[in-house]
Amino acid sequence: MASKVRLARRICEVQPSATLAVDAKAKALQAQGLDIVGFGVGEPDFDTPGHIVNAAASAMKSGDTKYSAKRGAELKRLIVEKLKRENNLEYKPEQVIVSNGGKQSLYNLCQVLVDEGDEVILAAPYWVSYLEQIRLAGGKPVILNTTEATAFKIAPQQLEKAITPKTKLFIHNSPSNPTGSVYTPEEIRAIAAVIEKAGIYALSDEIYEHLIYGDIKFLSMAAISPRLKELVVTVNGCSKTFSMTGCRIGWAAGPDEIIKAALKFQSHATSDPAAFCQAGAAEAYASRPASEAAVAAMRKQFDQRRKHMHARLNRLKGVTCLEPLGAFYCFPNISGVFGRQFNATRVNSPMDFCTVALEQAGVALVPGEAFGSSQHVRLSYATSMDLITKGLDRLEKMLNG
Ligand SMILES: Cc1ncc(COP(=O)(O)O)c(C=O)c1O
């Protein structure tokens, strides 16, 4: 029987988050007593550094449980300092918005910049939520496809060709979720030159800024020229850098009018994040030696896991994996497995591959379809070395056995 609930068209056209769906399916199987190795969710497995937890806990105990105007001002001041120190960007605190995760900052910005029918350009494979956030704002995603041949990075000419009179915004994400690719400063400058010439806006999602392995130096797009500072909004947050995903502290910095509009939007949607979580974030930016040491220790472990997972993936029959240089994901190409059968189930797509891996090997992966790829799956290595070995042993048995 047809449902009587008449939902708005807006939400009916949105796909649920595939990464959260995979995690839920894996957890449901675990609840049934099955031993599942989860490579699905993009969440650091490390504890939040102790000094950050202590600051949040004592803020809560001392009554920091109200609306956060005072606490918010302190955190914004510290974010302004961080942007100057680390990103060569000068902003006033009024040019910063603190949101419930980087996700909300991005959502706010789509809502205040994108009108019905506006085109928003982004590279595929892309992070799942960009596409739906663009659609929720009534915008039209314009996808630039990339492959291993360019290390999943777009060329400036590709962007130039895609720009039309309807283009409003470009979304840049480096290091990238899901591919782990990292643009060099030269590559960012070349893309920024196209943005500057066209006068379109850009969101630079820098949430994995501190998770780069190897020699590439991080560059914030907005720092390239004064004109770009008028066009680019920088988005970042504490989730990935400080392993604070559940605290929901993200932020954006950019031109006065854009941030003012985002603040107005957020004031009606959610108001600011929890005051005591903002206290934890303030501590993360204020106590630099402790935070930098904690981030360096996490990065070191991610790097070891990255190398291990990447090497093991390339030993699987039908699988090839480009070396990821940032974030905490491997994004192997599994098209060499297409056509093979596993216990009567034929694999012809990433979704098939993930179903077989979960049901027959007890390994949870995210299908590439969620990121705009018909040839890849995503594995997060934000999990222990033991679990990485166990999961890869299982995949090896399934594919090579
Ligand atoms: C590319 C990218 N941007 C933004 C986010 C948002 O993170 P949060 O809302 O936890 O700050 C994520 C989280 O997975 C991400 O991968």
Q: What's the CA-to-centroid distance between 285 and ligand 1, angstroms?
A: 19
Q: What is the mean pLDDT of residues 344-366?
A: 95
φ/ψ region of 100 (left if φ > 0, alpha if ψ in -120 to 50, else beta) reads beta
**Do 284 and 302 sit in the same domain of this protein?**
no
In a domain, 148, yes or no: yes
Q: What is the mean pLDDT of residues 346-375?
A: 95
In a domain, 30, yes or no: yes
Q: Percentage of the chain with pLDDT > 70?
A: 99
**Do 112 and 156 sit in the same domain of this protein?**
yes
**Do 260 and 139 sit in the same domain of this protein?**
yes
Bridge-based pairing state of the strands 201-205 and 167-173: parallel
The CATH number of whichever domain residue 132 belongs to comes to 3.40.640.10
Give, for ligand 1, the residue of 103, 238, 278 to mutate: max count of ligand atoms closer than 8 Å to Cβ: 103
Bridge-based pairing state of the strands 37-38 and 232-237: unpaired
Q: What's the CA-to-centroid distance between 176 and ligand 1, angstroms?
A: 10
Q: With bands split at pLDDT 50, 70 and 90, how would you rate the model's confidence at 142? A: very high
pLDDT tops 70 at residue 107: yes
**Do 180 and 55 sit in the same domain of this protein?**
yes
Q: What's the CA-to-centroid distance between 248 and ligand 1, angstroms?
A: 10
pLDDT tops 90 at residue 16: no
User: pTM for this one?
Assistant: 0.96
**Do 61 and 41 sit in the same domain of this protein?**
no
Q: What's the CA-to-centroid distance between 207 and ligand 1, angstroms?
A: 6
In a domain, 4, yes or no: no
Which of 290, 310, 342 delimits the end of a domain?
A: 290
pLDDT tops 90 at residue 323: yes
Check residue 299 and give its pLDDT.
Answer: 97
Q: Which atom of ligand 1 is nearest to the CA of 104?
A: 9
pLDDT tops 90 at residue 131: yes
Check residue 390 and give its pLDDT.
Answer: 98
Question: Given the structure tokens 């090579």, which residue do they identify?
Answer: 400
Residues 260-291: pLDDT tens digits? 999 999 999 999 999 999 999 999 999 999 99
**Integer Cα distance of 127 and 122 in angstroms:** 10
What is the residue with the minimal CA distance to atom 7 of ligand 1?
102
In a domain, 317, yes or no: yes
Q: What is the mean pLDDT of residues 340-349?
A: 95
What is the residue with the minimal CA distance to atom 16 of ligand 1?
177
Q: Which atom of ligand 1 is nearest to the CA of 176?
A: 1
Q: With bands split at pLDDT 50, 70 and 90, how would you rate the model's confidence at 13? A: confident
In a domain, 1, yes or no: no
Residues 207-261: pLDDT tens digits? 999 999 999 999 999 999 999 999 999 999 999 999 999 999 999 999 999 999 9
**Do 21 and 112 sit in the same domain of this protein?**
no
Range of the domain at 348: 10-47+292-400
Name, in order, each residue with C-beta under 8 angstroms of 346's C-beta and a sequence gap of 6 or more: 339, 340, 352
In a domain, 268, yes or no: yes
**Do 16 and 106 sit in the same domain of this protein?**
no
Q: What's the CA-to-centroid distance between 310 and ligand 1, angstroms?
A: 22
**Do 330 and 253 sit in the same domain of this protein?**
no
**Do 92 and 26 sit in the same domain of this protein?**
no
**Do 207 and 313 sit in the same domain of this protein?**
no
What is the residue with the minimal CA distance to atom 14 of ligand 1?
42
In a domain, 2, yes or no: no
Furthest-apart CA atoms within the chain: distance in Å: 62
Check residue 2 and give its pLDDT.
Answer: 61
Residues 171-202: pLDDT tens digits? 999 999 999 999 999 999 999 999 999 999 99
Which of 236, 258, 290 delimits the end of a domain?
A: 290
In a domain, 54, yes or no: yes
Q: What's the CA-to-centroid distance between 43 and ligand 1, angstroms?
A: 9
Check residue 102 and give its pLDDT.
Answer: 98
Mean pLDDT of the chain: 95
Phi and psi at residue 345, to the nearest 5°: -105, 120
Question: What element of type H or E holds 97?
Answer: strand 96-100
Q: With bands split at pLDDT 50, 70 and 90, how would you rate the model's confidence at 15? A: confident
What lines the ligand 1 site, CB under 6 Å?
Answer: 42, 101-103, 127, 173, 177, 205, 207, 237, 239, 245, 250
Q: With bands split at pLDDT 50, 70 and 90, how would you rate the model's confidence at 1? A: low
The CATH number of whichever domain residue 361 belongs to comes to 3.90.1150.10
**Do 131 and 254 sit in the same domain of this protein?**
yes
Number of domains in the chain: 2
Which of 290, 320, 353 delimits the end of a domain?
A: 290
Contact assessment for residue 251 and residue 235, using Cβ atoms and an 8 Å cutoff: yes
Q: With bands split at pLDDT 50, 70 and 90, how would you rate the model's confidence at 398? A: very high
Q: With bands split at pLDDT 50, 70 and 90, how would you rate the model's confidence at 17? A: confident
**Do 17 and 54 sit in the same domain of this protein?**
no
Check residue 249 and give its pLDDT.
Answer: 98
Give, for ligand 1, the residue of 79, 122, 129 to mutate: max count of ligand atoms closer than 8 Å to Cβ: 129
Q: Which atom of ligand 1 is nearest to the CA of 103?
A: 9
Q: What's the CA-to-centroid distance between 104 and ligand 1, angstroms?
A: 9
Q: What's the CA-to-centroid distance between 133 and ligand 1, angstroms?
A: 13
> Which residue type is seen at 38?
G
